[in-house]
Structure 1
């Protein structure tokens, strides 16, 4: 009778040890909501850690995005001036997995204050 019990304990030990050595699953990122202001939209896309920036108007004003990672310094992307719904992507570098990336759309207005959309957050 004792032999089957020992075999059962040995098997349970091996399964437990194998499970303990298994690598942890990678954390899945999440896209942010869309930040929108007159003529501009911006969104953080977790796949590739990029910002999708769209110029919605065929005017002469450039659009850009501002973003920060985990509450750090605010960065401004290069401007995009394609107009009429054209979009482009901008890099956010390579934030750590699970880092919070917060973004907003901006629109340059000559002779006036720039327009900004609300801040929207996602996870790298």
Structure 2
């Protein structure tokens, strides 16, 4: 096994979340009239890893308004289909942190490319 293959196996072993990625539309549950999101185009469903690059919320001053932000990243196995910028990511399960379940994100850019151990996408949290 090559070093790259070993790294990919190790990265995949650390993927503790199950994610569903694609295009979702807003709607209303006909029975409860609650607002819901429905998947209309699935790009990927399976293992993933949500990681916040920092535990510290960074502050910026934009137009005299202080904004706090954290930068989450999504890792999915190498060889997974390409995820498009703007696609929505939903965490459906997690073995590592139950507080991630139900969180929604949008993909904010392209993954790292080349000899990587996983596809890593920058995210923006929606919920």
Give the TM-score normalised by the residue count of structure 2.
0.25
1 or 2, which has the higher strand percentage?
A: 2
Q: Which of 1 and 2 has higher RCO (CA within 8 Å, sep 6+)?
A: 1
Structure index of larger Rg: 1
Give the TM-score normalised by the residue count of structure 1.
0.25
1 or 2, which has the higher helix percentage?
A: 1
